[in-house]
Structures are given as C-alpha cells and as structure tokens.
C-alpha cells in the first residue's frame, strides 16, 4: 500500500488500483456498509446501473495525480456527460463523502480549466451538467485529526490503545513496530496532506481565541428542567463554571501549557533550529521503518518541544520541520492559506483547487450545494502532547493520555480537547463554507449558488439489534441515517433545497461563523 516517497506514485513493480463499479464502495468488508444502504434506497425510486455512477478513485494519491496516473478526473467528466446525454439533459446530483468532498471541489475547478492542467470543459460546464452537490461529512477546512496522524501516527482511539497496551504498538519484539510502519506508509500518501487544517488562525483561532469558545461538553443530554446549578457541602447553590478551553492551541506540550495565559508562555523559535545528530542513522534495524524522525536528531526534537504550543498558523511549519520531504512533495499539490485576491493568476494552479478559501465556486447560479453532516458527538479538536521515551527508530512525540479534565462534563479527555462534530470532522470544518463562506454572493461564490446546511443530530442505537443505528451522526454510520437518505432521495427525485425546508441546524455553526473575521 505504500507509494514511492519521491514521486507520490507507484513504487517500481507494484500496482494497486481501486475497484470500479457500484461494488467499489458498497461494503468495506462483508456486513459493514458504506454506500450500500443509499444505493438500495435510490434503486427503490428507479435508479439503476445506467443512471448511477460510482466515482472510485485511488484515495492515496494527490487529487491531480489521480489524473496523471489513472485519468480518473477525465473518466468522471465523460461519465457525467454520458449520464446527462442519455437522460434527457437532466443534470446530475453528485454525492461526495469525506475526502471525496475535497476531491470533487478539485474536480469542479479541473473540469473547467484549460488543458493541459485542466479538463477543458469551459466556464459553463458545471452549470450545464450539475444540479446539486450533496456533500456528506465534508472536511472542507481540514481536520485536526490529520495533524495528529501526520505528527505521531495517532488519533484519540490509537492513543488510548497505546496507553492501555504500549508494548504492542510500540514493541520492537518480532519487528512489530506497528505505529512506525503506519507512519512510514501513510506519509507516502499525498492525499493525507489534503486534510491539514486550512485558513490558519483566522479560521481555527490562536493562543487566546477560537470560534467555539464557550462550547460545553455534557456527558448526557440535559432535560428541560435540569439546571446548571449544583449544591456545595452546605446545601448552598453554586454556579458551575465550565472549564475554559483553548481550542486554538491545536498542539500543546503539556496540559499546563494548554491552559496557561498566553502572556506566560515563553516560546523558543523552532523554524531555524539546527537538527541534532542523526538518531539510529547507521542502525540497520531501523531501515524497514525509516521515517524522517530518524533525521531530526535530539536537537530537532528538543526544538519542537521548546516551542511549546502550535496553532493552525504554525502547524504547517511544524510539519515542514519534522517531515520536510513529505511536505515538499505535498506542497506541490495542496495549499492551506486564504486568498487575498482570487483573480490573481497564480490561483489557476491545481494546488489551490481543493482549498475553498483559495478558489471560486464555478459560475453555476442554479447549482445547489449542501453541507450534510452529523453533530452531537465529541470530536477531536486539539491535543496535548509529551515527549515519548527515547529509543532508536522511535516516534519521539505522543499524545499524553494521562492528561484529563476536571469532571465528566469536561471537553478534555485523555490528552484530547473535544468539540462538536461527527467524531471525525468538527462542525467548524464541515459547516462554515455553506453557513457563511459561500452563503449568498461572496468572493468565493461569485455567481451566488444556493447553499444549505443540513445537520443530523446523533442518536446512538438503543440496542444491539439496531446494528449501527438509523439515526447515527457518526462520520461513516451516517450513510445509513434515514433522514439523510430521505433528503438525498428527494433531491435525486427533483426537489430543491427550499423544498427540503432549507437549513436544518442543531449546532452553533451560524454563531461560530459570525466570529470568524474573513473578508467575504
């Protein structure tokens, strides 16, 4: 599954390719559905193989390289044109999920851009061919989880497993070294870099501020007659103050740094630090699990920890420092900033096409865009790290799972700060563009394509017989959510966003969007 570390394409002599057709993603493994429930429901209203097309792509590659190697973008273009031509000119409804949301954003720019970089469809291609784009669980602005994955091959679930059984994932016994093999592999997948948070501190917040400030994590749903008042030992009423959470601090070294006033944090610049002696450079046992951390040395590791706290604005520099070859390869294909002037010719380059803050939506005023995602599940938003035990071939940083919040209602659990989302994508990333960035005529949506936010409040299955639940808001399980499926079927049967009822919102996405000071 690893790709070539220099080119981001196939390793010599190895070819792994995506399955094609509807079976490409109906089930992940037998019994674990992905698209199967939705496909079956679309079939009930008359859809079949000739009116449905599964756009399978190699999700390891950068989006532009799927075209270079497999002509995937060209195949999507010709298949959409065929669907429209053979169905009386009716435009298509596109349903991307997760990373596919970013991939289709890239496609909409590629298809209209002139060759050789683009597909040559011309400026009206999307208006002519696409009725609606129904984005499910879209990480439009990236996910903090990607930072933890690239930085230490962890996320909340892996960090917990590592804490419970450290000798399994970190063991050198029998050459298991699971996390290091995982890092070596995933750092060859250019697509992982598409998920790094976009928009810097303007979107995600800084040392002192974040849009979600004031969000409260509750262990249970509050009933209407519950109060936020508790009693002290003498029976007197005491107002419970929620813990302050600094979501803008995406990576902090130590809980005390995550919570300290910014004026008390002394940061030592890491960007120009001299990397120390090569760790295990001559150790042949490390060759099979070689990561760029072996070249960082003690000096580089210390420099990273001494900077103490990283926001979305400094995360990209951090990743350039700890994984320079990976990021050099990735920076050809992806960008994470905010465009000052979208008419600047440089934004015609494909590396900007999957960043909604550095590109315009197509000129398609009748095309509708939906942001559909689950809410009500604690979702990874920021991390507290510590230095790992020093050893050869090791990953020097790990999430500090021993760091905890004050009580069961804390947003801080096992070294991870949690916010509202679908367990993978925070509300901020999934909802902001449709709630504010593209709402009405903005510089990112100059033709005023209509946008809708459709949130689905998570309700877990009440018993084991319900399987993964029909009201789930979880990132993958939402594909079986009856309310989401009904919305898609109605649009696929000809309805508009207005006829669905417009926005359906349970979170504070509109309030949070207002706090973001982005020129629209």
Whether 222 shows a pLDDT value over 70: the answer reads no
Looking at residue 408, its pLDDT comes to 83
User: How far, in Å, CA of 240 to CA of 244, rounded?
Assistant: 12
Which helix (DSSP H) or strand (DSSP E) does residue 168 occupy? helix 166-169
281 pLDDT exceeds 70? no
Place of tokens 């995360």: 315
The string of pLDDT tens digits covering residues 412-421 is 999 999 999 9
Burial of 174 (0-12, 13-18, 19+ CB in 10 A): exposed
* Predicted confidence band of residue 129 (pLDDT cuts 50, 70, 90): very high
Q: What average pLDDT is seen over the chain?
A: 90
Pick the more confident residue, 244 or 160.
Answer: 244
Its pTM stands at: 0.92
Segment 158-180, tens digit of pLDDT: 666 555 555 555 555 444 467 88
Closest listed residue to residue 299, CA positions, set 331, 321, 328: 321
The pLDDT value recorded for residue 327 is 96
| More confident site: 219 or 295 | 295
pLDDT recorded at residue 226: 40
Residue 476: predicted pLDDT: 95
Compute the C-alpha angle 119/327/120, nearest 5°. Answer: 5
- Above pLDDT 70, what percent of the chain? 88
Q: Is the pLDDT of residue 285 over 70?
A: no
Q: What value does the mean pLDDT take over residues 471-475?
A: 96
Q: What pLDDT does 375 receive?
A: 98
Query: What pLDDT sits at residue 13?
Result: 95
pLDDT value for 168: 52
Q: Average of pLDDT values for 204-222?
A: 84
Q: Is 301 exposed, middle or buried (0-12, 13-18, 19+ CB in 10 A)?
A: buried
Q: How far apart are CA 360 and CA 347, in angstroms?
A: 9
Helix (H) or strand (E) holding 387: strand 377-387
Q: What is the pLDDT of residue 346?
A: 97
Whether the per-residue pLDDT at 221 is higher than 70: the answer is no
Percent of the chain with pLDDT over 90: 77
pLDDT value of residue 228: 42
| Strand ranges for 54-100 from DSSP E | 92-94
The band of 223, judged by pLDDT with boundaries at 50, 70 and 90, is very low
Contact 461, 455 (CB under 8 A): no
Active site positions, annotated: 98, 422, 475
pLDDT at position 282 is 46
Mean pLDDT is highest, among 153-162, 403-412, 440-449, for: 440-449
Q: What is the pLDDT of residue 400?
A: 95
């Amino acid at each position: 599954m690893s790709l070539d570390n220099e080119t981001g394409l196939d390793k010599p002599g190895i070819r792994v390719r995506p399955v094609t057709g509807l079976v490409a993603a109906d089930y992940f493994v037998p019994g674990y559905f992905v698209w199967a429930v939705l496909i079956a429901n679309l079939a009930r209203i008359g859809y079949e193989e000739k009116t449905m097309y599964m756009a399978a792509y190699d999700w390891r590659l950068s989006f532009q390289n799927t075209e270079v190697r497999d002509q995937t973008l060209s195949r999507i273009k010709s298949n959409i044109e065929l669907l429209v031509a053979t169905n009386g000119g009716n435009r298509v409804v596109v349903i991307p999920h997760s990373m596919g949301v970013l991939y289709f954003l890239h496609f909409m720019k590629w298809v209209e851009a002139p060759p050789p970089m683009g597909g040559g469809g011309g400026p009206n291609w999307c208006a002519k061919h696409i009725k609606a784009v129904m984005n499910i669980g879209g990480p439009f602005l990236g996910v903090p989880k990607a930072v933890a994955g690239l930085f230490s091959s962890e996320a909340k679930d892996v960090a917990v497993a590592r804490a419970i059984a450290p000798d399994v994932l970190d063991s050198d016994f029998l050459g298991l070294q699971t996390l290091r093999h995982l890092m070596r592999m995933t750092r060859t997948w250019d697509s992982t870099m598409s998920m790094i948070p976009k928009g810097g501190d303007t979107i995600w917040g800084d040392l002192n501020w974040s849009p979600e400030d004031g969000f409260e994590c509750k262990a249970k749903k509050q009933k209407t007659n519950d109060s936020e008042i508790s009693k002290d030992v003498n029976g007197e009423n005491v107002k419970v103050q929620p813990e302050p959470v600094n979501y803008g601090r995406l990576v902090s070294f130590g809980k005390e740094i995550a919570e300290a006033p910014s004026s008390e944090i002394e940061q030592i610049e890491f960007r120009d630090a001299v990397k120390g002696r090569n760790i295990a450079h001559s150790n042949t046992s490390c060759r099979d699990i070689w990561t760029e951390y072996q070249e960082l040395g003690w000096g580089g590791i210390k420099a990273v920890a001494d900077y103490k706290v990283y926001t979305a604005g400094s995360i990209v520099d951090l990743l350039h420092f700890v994984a320079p070859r990976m990021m050099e390869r990735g920076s050809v294909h992806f960008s994470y900033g905010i465009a000052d002037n979208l008419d600047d010719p440089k934004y015609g380059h494909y590396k900007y096409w999957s960043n909604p803050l550095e590109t315009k939506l197509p000129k398609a005023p009748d095309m509708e865009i939906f942001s559909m995602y689950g809410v009500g599940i604690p979702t990874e938003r920021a991390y507290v790290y510590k230095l790992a035990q020093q050893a050869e071939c090791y990953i020097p940083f790990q999430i500090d799972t021993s760091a905890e919040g004050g009580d069961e209602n804390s947003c801080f659990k096992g070294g991870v700060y949690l916010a509202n989302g679908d367990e993978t994508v925070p509300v901020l990333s999934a909802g902001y563009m449709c709630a504010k960035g593209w709402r009405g005529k903005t510089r990112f949506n100059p033709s005023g394509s209509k946008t809708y936010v459709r949130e689905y409040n998570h309700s877990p299955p009440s018993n084991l017989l319900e399987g993964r639940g029909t009201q789930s808001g979880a990132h993958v399980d939402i594909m079986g959510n009856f309310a989401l499926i009904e919305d898609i079927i109605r649009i696929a049967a000809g309805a508009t966003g207005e006829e669905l009822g417009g926005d359906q919102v349970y979170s504070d996405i509109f309030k949070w969007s207002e706090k973001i000071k982005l020129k629209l």
